[in-house]
Amino acid sequence: MVRVGVVGLGMMGLTHIDAYKRRDDVRIVAIADKDPKRLSGEVRATGNVDGQAQQGVEALDCKRYEDAGDLINDADVDMVDICLPTHMHLRFGQMSLEAGKHTMLEKPLARTSEDADKLVAIADAAAGKAFVGMCMRFWPGWSWLKEAIDNDTYGPVRSASFRRVAQHPGGPFYENGELSGGALLDLHIHDTDFVQFCFGIPKAVTSAGYSKVTSAIDHVVTRYHNDDNPAGGPVVMAEGSWCFSKGFGFTMSYCVNFENATAVFDLAQQKPLTLHKDGKSEQVELDSLMGYDLEIAYFLDCITNDRAPKTVTMRDAANTIKICEAEGKSVETGERVAVQV
């Protein structure tokens, strides 16, 4: 039984708590939030994906802390799950890892690649295991895609496009580009990470975009240059935004064209994944759980069986931030920017 403490009871903290409640190999022993109304459950955050952050914390029988450090230093906590705003990940991630706790950090690993590199080094020297919630690597329909690519099931990928667009989520953290990194670092990072997962670290990126709600980049379109080899690699691109009008909500999708099939994922559909092949279109059955449940199951398994997380490493998560930073530089300069990791 892993005893977990959850720090930060916003949309993601509640989403993770829902996932823990569905399992019998983990017990929530403590929660922390500096806002007493969030800590008591009087005020509840809501999610942007249907089924997310459904339950509150009112009925939880556990310790409650206003100070995240007190939860981290609680001897009854084996694993700390940090769901704080991004700019706090370094401070509390470091505190947790140095206290010897198994540590899960929400994405992005940190606000900057410099901070992320620090966390990678701290995790390398830590007694506990470290994990980053790059949830798309576990998301039903997306892990299917990764397997299809790795197994060469439908031949090589010729082109892939990913799209994740939304209205702005609102709130002081997301409105502040210095703290959140805008849609580029907060939302689009999921697709950047998935591109890295499937196709490796791109040699370079070419991006265009703009700021709207924050001082950072809130809409971005990127071409990932994985295709600079003589044999011709896939043409890969992604669009991310939280500049859409209120009422639009949120959607995520991809269209991947293999040599012998085309796969289309659209979260807005009741059955999101369709495979078009040999003149037939088939809806692929997927796990009903969300990537959040599956990533948490994976990390708990790593802890229980003393295995280092491999599906996503701290280094992968830091590299994803470096790719996003190259995308940001490309938006600013209008130039193709080499990715240096």
Helix axes of 89-98 and 113-124: crossing angle, nearest 10 degrees? 10
Site string for ligand NAD, 194-233 (x = CB under 6 A): ----------------------------------------
- Per-position x/- string for 245-284, each x denoting binding to ligand NAD as judged by CB under 6 A, each - no binding: ----------------------------------------
Tokens 């700019």, residue?
A: 87
Type and span of the H or E element at 298 = helix 291-304
**Least distance CB 220 / ligand NAD (angstroms):** 16
Q: Which of residues 50-69 bind ligand NAD (CB under 6 A)?
A: 68
Q: Give the separation between CA 281 and CA 7, rounded to whole angstroms.
A: 44
Q: Out of 4, 5, 6, 10, point to the residue binding ligand NAD (CB under 6 A).
A: 10
164 binds ligand NAD (CB under 6 A): no
Segment contacting ligand NAD (CB under 6 A): 82-90, 95-103, 254-262, 306-314?
Answer: 82-90
Residue identified by tokens 């791109």 is: 202
Neighbours of 304 (CB within 10 A): 12
Residue 83 makes contact with ligand NAD by CB under 6 A: yes
Rounded to the nearest whole angstrom, what is the least distance from the CB of residue 146 to ligand NAD in the complex?
17
Minimum distance between the CB of residue 98 and ligand NAD, rounded to whole angstroms? 17
Which 113-152 residues touch ligand NAD, going by CB under 6 A? 133, 135
Q: Which one among 84, 243, 275, 294 touches ligand NAD, defined by CB under 6 A?
A: 84
Q: Does 45 bind ligand NAD (CB under 6 A)?
A: yes
Who's near 114: CB < 8 A, 6+ residues apart?
A: none
- Per DSSP bridges, beta strands 130-133 and 102-106 are parallel
Question: Rounded distance, CA 32 to CA 336, Å?
Answer: 43
Alpha carbons 296 and 47: distance in angstroms, whole number: 17
Q: Which position among 51, 155, 171, 249 is part of the footprint of ligand NAD (CB under 6 A)?
A: 171
Q: What is the DSSP string of 168-229?
A: ---SHHHH-HHHH-HHHHHTTHHHHHHHHHHH-S-SEEEEEEE-SSSSS--EEEEEEE---S
Contact window for ligand NAD (CB under 6 A) among 55-63, 79-87, 121-129, 199-207: 79-87
Per CB under 6 A, the list member of 16, 38, 101, 223 interacting with ligand NAD is 38
Handedness of CA 253, 286, 137, 50 (dihedral sign): positive
Give min distance, CB of 35 to ligand NAD, in A. 4
Q: Where does 66-189 show beta strands of DSSP type E?
A: 79-82, 102-106, 130-133, 157-167
Does 285 bind ligand NAD (CB under 6 A)? Our answer is no
> What does the radius of gyration of the chain's CA atoms come to, in whole angstroms?
20
Site for ligand NAD in 12-31 (CB under 6 A): 12-13
Q: What minimum distance in Å lies between the beta carbon of 142 and ligand NAD?
A: 12
CA–CA dist 168, 151 (Å, integer): 37
- Shortest Å distance, C-beta 261 to ligand NAD: 28
Binding site for ligand NAD (CB under 6 A): 7-13, 32-35, 38, 45, 68, 83-86, 88, 106-107, 133, 135, 171, 173, 186
